[in-house]
Chains A and B, each alone.
Chain A
Amino acid sequence: MKKTALILLFAGALLSGPISTSGRTASWSGVDETVIEKFAEKAGRPAWKPFINTDQGDLLLFVFLLAGAAGGFAAGYWFRVLFPPRRKNEVGRILNHDV
């Protein structure tokens, strides 16, 4: 009971943190870009535009989709090489063994 209450407290604090304590709404902006760049600007070192600037309109969504598909394909390919699907008789043997 105590354990469940603490886990619920943890989850609740995570979910309601920005609203309950400050009243601000979450921006969900990527901290990589916004905060480091703001901090660097204060120090007189504003970030440059990327050499290949894909951060224009929906172009960034497109390259992220491509990157996700390529990365996912590579991960899936190597996963099947390393962890081939179990054969039917092997699954049966494992299940029987479990019983």
Chain B
Amino acid sequence: MIIKILAAAALLCALPTPAFAMHISEGILPISWALLWYAAALPFVMWGLRDLRRRSEEAPWFKPLVGLVGAAVFLISCMPIPVPSAGTCSHPCGTGIAAILIGPGLTAVVASIALTLQALFLAHGGITTLGANIFSMGVAGAWVGWGVFTAARRLGLPWIAAAFLAGMLSDWATYATTSLELAAALHGDGSFTTMFSLILLAFVPTQLPLGILEGFLCAGVLKFVRSRRPELLRTVPAGGAA
């Protein structure tokens, strides 16, 4: 089954289409949309901060884990990876594995810190578009990753398959949300649905292989943590069970 999916993905990847990326650059969104996405992302970040305080009191190793995951999300989300099928570079997000390890609330916090640093110093993303970028990567990507992992485990899938699906789908969800944000703000008098579909399809050659890569990354990291310190997965939904 996986081989068939890989073969189908290979054929799709061979179509040379321009691709879009996740971080929306400075000034692209009108101010009303920029404020809306800030307002949408803020409650998730606040909830994550409250979660940090509560969970740090319960487990002394939790803050170092958040530090490690935060550094990893920062590095992964500013690491351009060449995608030969599209002839361009893009980057994975790391929010799928982050959501499994520290929860979706705290993933929004670490993603907002990573994205702020990138917008300020790395000319990557923007301050006006920060809310939209946090929402797509730190909220949508994280909740989809966490939700898929939880659902897959409850359905009885092996944890490694659940982690693979979570990583892959969280990546694709991030880019789907970015398409939605761009289409909503920029469609003008044209059709929102048409523009959304065009942007989403344009993502395919770049993000299809990167999503698969992110799935492997997610499964690999979880395998490592389970073998070295399984107690770190105590709070992961059904993660401790084989």
Binding site for B on A (CB under 8 A): 2-3, 6-7, 9-10, 12-18, 20-22, 24-37, 39-40, 43-55, 60, 63-64, 67-68, 71-72, 74-75, 77-79, 81-83
Q: How far is the CA of A48 from the CA of B29 in the complex (A)?
A: 10
Q: Find out whether the CB atom of A55 lies under 8 angstroms from the CB atom of B123.
A: yes
Report B-chain residues with C-beta under 8 Å of the C-beta of A31: 19-21, 86, 88-90, 206
* B69 vs chain A, min Cβ distance (A): 8
Q: How large is the interface on B (under 10, 10 to 19, 20 to 34, 35 or more residues)?
A: 35 or more
B22 within 8 A of A: yes
Contact check: which of B13, B28, B84, B90 meets A40 at CB < 8 Å? B28
Contact check: which of B75, B78, B85, B89 meets A29 at CB < 8 Å? B89
- 26 of the cross-chain contacts (CB-CB < 8 Å) are A7-B3, A10-B7, A13-B11, A13-B14, A17-B14, A18-B85, A28-B82, A30-B88, A31-B19, A31-B20, A31-B89, A32-B23, A32-B25, A32-B91, A35-B202, A44-B188, A48-B25, A50-B119, A52-B121, A54-B121, A64-B78, A72-B75, A78-B64, A78-B65, A82-B61, A82-B65
- Say what secondary structure dominates the interface of chain A: helix
Nearest to B61 among chain A residues (CB) is A82
Q: Find out whether the CB atom of B120 lies under 8 angstroms from the CB atom of A52.
A: yes
Report B-chain residues with C-beta under 8 Å of the C-beta of A50: 26, 119, 123, 126
- Identify which of residues 188-242 in chain B touch chain A, using a CB-to-CB cut-off of 8 Å: 188, 199, 202, 205-206, 209, 228-229, 232
Q: How far is the CA of A46 from the CA of B20 in the complex (A)?
A: 15
Q: A-B pairs with the 6 shortest C-beta distances? A: A26-B87, A48-B27, A78-B68, A13-B10, A75-B71, A17-B85
Nearest to A17 among chain B residues (CB) is B85
Report A-chain residues with C-beta under 8 Å of the C-beta of B7: 6, 9-10
* A35 vs chain B, min Cβ distance (A): 5
Q: Find out whether the CB atom of B3 lies under 8 angstroms from the CB atom of A6.
A: yes
